A and B are shown apart, each in its own frame.
Chain A
Amino acid sequence: MHELSLVQGLFSQVKELAFQHQARKVIRIVVKIGPFSGVVMDSFTFAFEVLKEDEELLRHAHLEIIRPGARLCCNLCEREVDAEKEDLDFKGDMLPGQLFSKEKRCPHCGKGSLYPSGGDEILLMQIEME
């Protein structure tokens, strides 16, 4: 994907906020990356570590990534299913495509099939600065 440009976007938001709050340095950046966002974690982390070296303000920033679990929805009864809780063998960074090998039915109604509900978010959650 375009992890480099995502991190560039992240840094421009962080720099603007740091400037508004007259921070001298940013020490922690928390982002939330949904399981269906298509973001490759290693590339994102790599881009973060490389690009932060170019910025005095960000050089000491530590990256924290929150990875919410996959949420699925039933196409018949429309109820939500927490893939991990229901033991659907569905890990956070699985692609929805991997659902097809499973053919799991909805645990609520037993009939419907499950499709991803949301989970494509890429969010800046918190910044800690001094």
Chain B
Amino acid sequence: MCDTCGCQTTKPSHQDSKLLEINKSLLAANDSVARKNRKHFGEMGARAINLISSPGAGKTTLLEKTAELLSGEFTFAVIEGDIETERDAQRIRAKGIPAVQITTGGACHLDATLVHKGIHLLEKELGKGSPRLIFIENVGNLVCPAAFDLGEHKRVVMVSVPEGSDKPAKYPRAFMGSDLFVITKMDLLPYFDFSIDEAIRCARAINPGISVLTLSAKTGEGMEGWMDFLKSESMNQDEDEDEDVA
């Protein structure tokens, strides 16, 4: 009989079993590549910004508008993540901004390994020069990307007015780890029952420290706050590189 549990097995199964104490994240492999990415961005002299939203919230449009408004305050490049196609990278390049596309081939989020590939593609594209800011446009999805550190320095979560102001309450995980919450398509506010108050209150209930910006990439309303955020980020080099060490 087995001593450990009193079961009737004849072979002493539990006696020669070995118990290992581990206490390690299931995402440990991703997180360690993410730390390397963060270092890599730092060595390029760049700060990386991870953009997370549902499909169509206006990530690419905001980057296009950023390119249009730019007048030498900083430089930037974009790593575009999508399930399929080169379209977003082409939209960014059309604005004269270096961009590379990484496709996940079906996966609903970017992970650190894919971004690592993106960094190498981008370095080829850039040649010698290096931008101050590198945006990573994540796959459109407000759930899965939240769990994956890509090696970014700042994480931005975006919700557009037509999506509704209950999104922070419904997708809390995306707001927990973000530094900035951007409410987009403000030009559409008169046509939708979107409560800015509710959206901000819920986002801050999850993450009291989160900053908030409201803007429209179409009319340009609120864009100066966004450009100021980017400008101060671009001057924020080489600091807290290993902030998220597990």
Q: Do A and B come from one complex?
A: yes
Q: What chain A residues lie within 8 Å of B21 (beta carbons)?
A: 125-126
A127-B19, A129-B20 known; A122 vs B27 contact (CB < 8 Å): yes
B202: contacting residue among A37, A100, A129, CB under 8 A: A100
Stretch at the interface among A50-58, A82-90, A112-120: A112-120
A115-B205, A130-B16 known; A9 vs B22 contact (CB < 8 Å): no
Q: Is A65 an interface residue (CB 8 A)?
A: no
Stretch at the interface among B41-49, B82-90, B143-151: B143-151
A113-B205, A116-B176 known; A122 vs B26 contact (CB < 8 Å): yes
Q: What chain B residues lie within 8 Å of A126 (beta carbons)?
A: 19-22
CA distance A128 to B15 in the complex (A): 11
Q: Is B24 an interface residue (CB 8 A)?
A: yes
CA distance A18 to B171 in the complex (A): 37
CA distance A36 to B202 in the complex (A): 15
Q: Is A75 an interface residue (CB 8 A)?
A: yes
Q: Is A2 an interface residue (CB 8 A)?
A: yes
A36-B172, A115-B208, A130-B16 known; A2 vs B22 contact (CB < 8 Å): no
Looking at chain A, what size class is its interface with the partner chain?
A: 35 or more
**Is chain A's interface secondary structure helix, strand, loop, or mixed overall?**
mixed
B26-69 contacts to A, CB under 8 A, are 26-30
Q: What chain B residues lie within 8 Å of A121 (beta carbons)?
A: 25
Q: Is A92 an interface residue (CB 8 A)?
A: no
Q: What chain A residues lie within 8 Å of B24 (beta carbons)?
A: 13, 123-124
Most central of A12, A21, A127 by chain B CB within 10 Å: A127
Q: Is B10 an interface residue (CB 8 A)?
A: no
Chain B nearest Cβ from A31, distance in angstroms: 7
B26 and A13 contact, CB distance less than 8 A: yes
CA distance A10 to B27 in the complex (A): 8
A116-B206, A126-B21 known; A13 vs B28 contact (CB < 8 Å): yes
Q: Besides A1-B147, A27-B17, A126-B22, 17 other CB < 8 A contacts?
A: A5-B107, A6-B27, A12-B29, A17-B20, A21-B20, A36-B176, A38-B173, A96-B172, A97-B169, A115-B204, A115-B206, A115-B207, A115-B208, A123-B25, A125-B23, A130-B13, A130-B18
Pick 16 A–B contacts, CB within 8 A, sort by A: A2-B108, A6-B26, A17-B20, A21-B18, A27-B13, A37-B147, A37-B173, A96-B172, A96-B176, A96-B205, A122-B147, A123-B22, A123-B26, A124-B22, A125-B23, A126-B21
Interface residue ranges, A against B (CB under 8 Å)? 1-2, 5-6, 9-10, 12-13, 17, 21, 23, 27, 31, 36-38, 75, 95-97, 99-100, 113, 115-116, 120-130
- The 3 lowest CB-CB distance pairs between A and B, nearest first, are A97-B169, A96-B172, A38-B173
